[in-house]
Amino acid sequence: MQLKQLEVFVQVARLKSFSKAADALYLTQPTISAHISALEGELGSKLVVRSTKEIQLTATGNILYGYANQILGLCERAEQEVKTASSDIQGALSIAASTVPSQYLLPRILPHLRKRYPKVFFQVFQGDSSQVAQRIFENGAEMGIIGSPVQKAGCVCTPFFSERMVIVTPNTPEFRELDGTISGQVLRASPFLVREPGSGTRKRSEEFLRGIGIDPRELTLAAQLQSTESILQGVKNGLGISIVSGLAAADYVQMGSILSFDYDSPLLDRQFYLIHHRTRPHSPAASMLLQELPRYFQGEIEAGSLKAEPTS
Low-confidence ranges of the chain (pLDDT < 50): 307-312
Examine the domain organization and report whether 42 and 61 are in the same domain: yes
Phi and psi based region of residue 295 (left: phi greater than 0; alpha: psi -120 to 50; beta: remaining):
alpha
Whether 207 maps to a domain, the answer reads: yes
The answer to whether residues 143 and 174 belong to one domain is no
Count of structural domains within the chain: 3
Do 80 and 9 share a structural domain?
yes
The pTM is what?
Answer: 0.61
Residue 293 and residue 227 in one domain = no
Distance between CA atoms of residues 138 and 121, nearest Å: 21
Task: Answer whether residue 310 is part of any domain.
Answer: no
For residues 263 and 119, membership in a common domain is answered with no
User: Which H or E element spans position 38?
Assistant: helix 29-43
| Cβ contact 267:218 at 8 Å | no
In a domain, 309, yes or no: no
User: What is the reported pLDDT for 80?
Assistant: 59
Q: Is residue 311 part of a domain?
A: no
CATH code where residue 21 lies: 1.10.10.10
Domain boundary among 68, 87, 106: 87
Instruction: In whole angstroms, give the CA distance from residue 16 to residue 53.
Output: 9
Chain mean position to CA 277: 12
The pLDDT score that the predictor gives to residue 121 is: 92
Residue 169 forms beta bridges with which residues? 259
Q: Are residues 265 and 275 in the same domain?
A: no
Same domain, 140 and 106: yes
Whether 312 maps to a domain, the answer reads no
pLDDT of residue 37: 93
Residue 119 falls inside a structural domain: yes
pLDDT at 301: 55
CA angle 148, 238, 180 (to 5 degrees): 70
Residues 176 and 258 reside in one and the same domain: yes
Q: For residue range 227-271, what is the model confidence (pLDDT) as tens digits?
A: 899 999 999 999 999 999 998 999 999 999 999 999 999 999 988
Instruction: Return all residues near 259 (Cβ < 8 A) that are at least 6 apart.
Output: 168, 169, 170, 171, 175, 176, 253, 311, 312
Q: Tell me: do 98 and 195 sit in the same domain.
A: no
Where in the sequence is the domain holding 58, given as residue range(s)? 3-87
Residues 221 and 154 in one domain: no
For residue 212, give the CATH number of its domain: 3.40.190.10
Same domain, 120 and 38: no
pLDDT tens digits along 267-277: 999 889 999 98
Same-domain status, 80 and 7: yes
